[in-house]
Amino acid sequence: MISGCEGRSYSPQRHRGTEGDGEPCYRLHRLDARRKLIRQLQGACSGELAAGYAYRGHWKSVRDPAERERIRVIEDEEWHHRELVLGLLRELGAKPNRLREAIFWVIGRTLGALCPVSGWFLPMYGAGRLERGNIVEYEHAAVFAAQCGHEGMIDCLLTMAEVEWEHELYFRERILGHRWLRFFPLWDAPPPKESIRRAA
């Protein structure tokens, strides 16, 4: 059990592969799902790297003490997610994608450096929009984990999806009603938090 992901149950039955009748086909299906899981985790790992550095610049740029503290906590949670994802990759005998890591290191550092000069709205808007995608990213990873027989990873992945749901809610609530939403359309809100496990 990976630290930080204990304490919840999950039934993967509806995500098991159903294609084909023979054992060779089943093995191929599991191998394909494993490859997809590794790619998904590599993407999440690099994304958390960029997010950590971006949020570091973000919370340092805001003036409101409550916003500053909340975004600082979100940064800490993103770094924790990265450690968890690294552990899942090790369990699969895989590593982060080095090229992707380098690219996202640059992206995160750049976004963090731009926060002090880009104003209040744009970092809040960009963070919320990205967090919306992160929810789905971890939900998909949970599906792939179930399909390739790594049910022990599912709870951890869904827990991270739930935390990303909370991040998205925070940023969306901060910008609701802002005048710049006339030019930057608000993304679709995710389904209720409970749906993350109910749909699984």
Q: What is the pLDDT of residues 99-136, one digit of tens each?
A: 999 999 999 999 999 999 999 999 999 999 999 999 99
Cα–Cα distance list, 8 to 34, 62, 155, 189, 195 (Å) = 23, 35, 6, 25, 15
Torsion sign, CA atoms 63, 76, 79, 131: negative
In terms of CATH architecture, what is 21-199? Up-down Bundle (1.20)
Q: For the chain, what is the mean pLDDT?
A: 89
What is the pLDDT at residue 30?
Answer: 87
Q: What is the DSSP string of 48-115?
A: HHHHHHHHHHHHHH---HHHHHHHHHHHHHHHHHHHHHHHHHHHTT----HHHHHHHHHHHHHHHHHG
What is the pLDDT at residue 42?
Answer: 98
pTM, to two decimals? 0.85
Residue predicted with more confidence, 17 or 31? 31
What's the rounded mean pLDDT across residues 143-166? 97
Distance CA 141, CA 154 (A): 8
Angle at 16 (CA atoms; ends 197, 162), nearest 5 degrees: 20
**pLDDT, tens digit, 9 for 90 and up, residues 36-92:** 999 999 999 999 999 999 999 999 999 999 999 999 999 999 999 999 999 999 999
Tokens at residue 68, please?
A: 């500053």
What is the pLDDT at residue 18?
Answer: 41
What is the pLDDT at residue 3?
Answer: 44
Residue predicted with more confidence, 135 or 25? 135
Backbone dihedral region of 119: left (phi > 0), alpha (psi from -120 to 50 degrees) or beta? left
Give the HSE-up count for residue 41: Cα atoms under 13 Å, Cβ half-sphere: 28
- State yes or no: pLDDT of 28 exceeds 80: no
What is the pLDDT at residue 73?
Answer: 98
- Asked which of 1-5, 21-25, 35-39, 103-107 is least confident by mean pLDDT, the reply is 1-5
